[in-house]
Amino acid sequence: MGTDEFVFLLTGLKWTVILSAIAFVCGCLGGLAVALARTSGIKLLERATAAYIGVFQGTPLLMQLFVVYYGLALVGFKIDAWVAVATGLTLHASAYLGEIWRGSIEAVPRGQTEAAKALSLKYVSRMRDVILPQALRVSLPATIGFLVQLIKGTSLASIVGFTELTRAGNMISNQIFQPLTVFGIVGLMYFLLCCPLTIFGAHLERRFAASAR
Amino acid sequence: MDYQLDFTPVIDGLPDLLLGCLGTFLLAICGMLLAIVIGIGGVILRTSPYKAARWAMIGFVEVIRNTPFLVQIFFLYFALPLAGLRLDPTPTAIIALGINGGAYAIEIIRGGVQSISKGQMEAGLALGLHKAQVFRFIILKPALRAIFPSLTSQFVLLTLTSSVASAISAYELTAVSQRIESDSFRSFEVYFTVTAFYLVISWLMMRLFAFFSARYFAYPVK
């Protein structure tokens, strides 16, 4: 494998990182909305978000990408593969992050809400200043764990036809007929991307466990 | 927007899709069994007194958990023939699913084993229970109870992951749906329906696991 091929893989890696970042940032916004709706106390909203989470956790990511990709084309959006994939991954991330954060919002002791109400804080301030800071702290290890899952999930974008790291690896491997070398390097690149995050997440988890004792 | 939804190819392809579901079940069940075997073997090595075995297992788990399944299955697809194993895509996919699920199972089972404290075993022996009884009621059942929820949700995830096996053209639901799609060009209709199939499959699995959990692991109520 020559320098050109390696540089091509690096370009793929760049797109994997960009795609992961977009999906994670947009997924965080969506996830926050889902988590807030899921714990809003409004029956209809809670049911709807529960169904949303259930559907996305009960179907393969690959199928979600397919449905979004062809579904968006169907309703008349002429879009690039990468926009479709980013949309699909965002919807996916919103569901998972929404469920993670719902759990951590519910894990904040009830007394906190009651105290905030007694201080006559309105909903926005109650959530922003009292509940969410505590909830997000608790949820950090799981959130990072999901980020790793999301980075790995971007590899499925290759099946839809977006050239990120895995597809770049596929193309190179078809070109130079050294699949083991190519996919070994591709795997290593994913590993170098994900492993620090995994270690950081485990570190946070241990620290929180220690401070909770 | 003048597109007319047309589900005829999906309805015509229904027998194929149901066969594809069976393919997915086959992949999932064989993958799970392999994952359990790898998980138990891995935990034995992971908690063994040999440092090399422990580190090998830590390395294995981390490599699998930090790389995408798609890359793993491609790697295996090309690596197995070089190792002298010429297999069809479907057995290759089962091995890949087993290895992937096994790495997660190692971590889950290890947690369950560590949740049983030594004092429990000693207490059981002190109460005059037989060694086999101690193992069955005091070690095995509580450990299984502890790991059952995470292990089964990992299995549901494994079943959903099996859709990726279509990338090496293993026989399962996604591969079948891709064939119908390329024959009919009714992409949205096909994938929408198949997504619903997967939803039913994972829902059924969760119900089944919940039933087992209530049947075998519920605490006796007086």
Q: What's the whole-number mean pLDDT along residues A80-107?
A: 94
Query: What is the tens place of the pLDDT at every residue in B156-202?
Result: 999 999 999 999 989 999 999 999 998 888 889 999 999 999 999 99
**CB distance A152–B68 less than 8 Å?**
yes
CB A98 within 8 A of CB A39: no
> Does A59 sit within 8 Å of B67, measured CB to CB?
no
| Domains within chain A, CATH numbers bracketed | 3-212 (1.10.3720.10)
Would you kindly state where each structural domain of chain B is located, as residue ranges? 25-173
Q: What is the mean pLDDT of residues B4-10?
A: 82
Q: How many CB pairs under 8 A join A and B?
A: 113
Residues on chain B bordering chain A, Cβ-to-Cβ distance under 8 angstroms:
1, 3, 62-63, 65-72, 74-75, 77-79, 82, 156, 160-164, 166-167, 174, 187-188, 191-192, 194-195, 198-199, 202-203
Mean pLDDT of A14-20: 95
Across the interface, whether the CB atoms of B66 and A191 are under 8 A apart is answered: yes
First to last CA, chain A: 52
Instruction: Give the ipTM.
Output: 0.91
Is it the case that residue A167 has pLDDT exceeding 80? yes
Residue B6's pLDDT is 81
Q: What is the pLDDT of residue A213?
A: 59
Q: Where do we find the tokens 């807030």?
A: A36
pLDDT of residue B167: 92
Range 38-67 of A in CB contact (< 8 A) with B = 55, 57-64, 66-67
- Min distance A136 CA to chain B CA atoms (Å): 22
Judged against a pLDDT cut of 70, whether residue B1 lies above it is answered with: no
Q: % helix / strand / coil in chain A, to the nearest 5?
A: 85, 0, 15
Question: A166: which chain B residues are within 8 Å (Cβ-Cβ)?
Answer: 68, 70-71, 74
What's the pLDDT band for B67 if we cut at 50, 70, 90?
very high
For B86, the 3-state DSSP assignment is coil
> Any idea which of A198-202, B125-129, B130-134, B161-165 has the lowest mean pLDDT?
B130-134
User: Was domain B25-173 assigned CATH 3.40.630.30?
Assistant: no
Angstrom distance (rounded) from CA A89 to CA B88: 31
pLDDT of residue B140: 82
Farthest-apart Cα atoms in chain B, separation: 78
In this prediction, residue B115 carries a pLDDT of 81
Give the span between the Cα atoms of B28 and B156, in whole angstroms.
9
What value does the mean pLDDT of chain B take? Answer: 90
**Residues of chain A neighbouring B82 (CB-CB closer than 8 A):** 180
Structure confidence at residue B221 (pLDDT): 64
Which DSSP category does B221 fall into? -
Residue of B nearest to A194 (CA): B66
Rounded Cα distance, A204 and A93, in Å: 21
Rounded CA separation B41/B35 (Å): 10
Interface test with chain B among A63, A67, A205, by most B beta carbons within 10 Å: A63
Beta-sheet strands, E only, within chain A: none
User: Is residue A200 helix, strand or coil?
Assistant: helix
* Cβ within 8 Å of residue B107, ≥6 positions away: B61
Nearest by CB to residue A62, choosing from B66, B71, B164, is: B164
Residue A146 confidence class, pLDDT cut points 50, 70, 90:
very high
Task: State which amino acid sits at residue A192.
Answer: L
**pLDDT averaged over chain A?**
92
Residues A49-71 have pLDDT tens digits of: 999 999 999 999 999 999 999 98
Q: Chain centroid to CA A136: how far?
A: 15
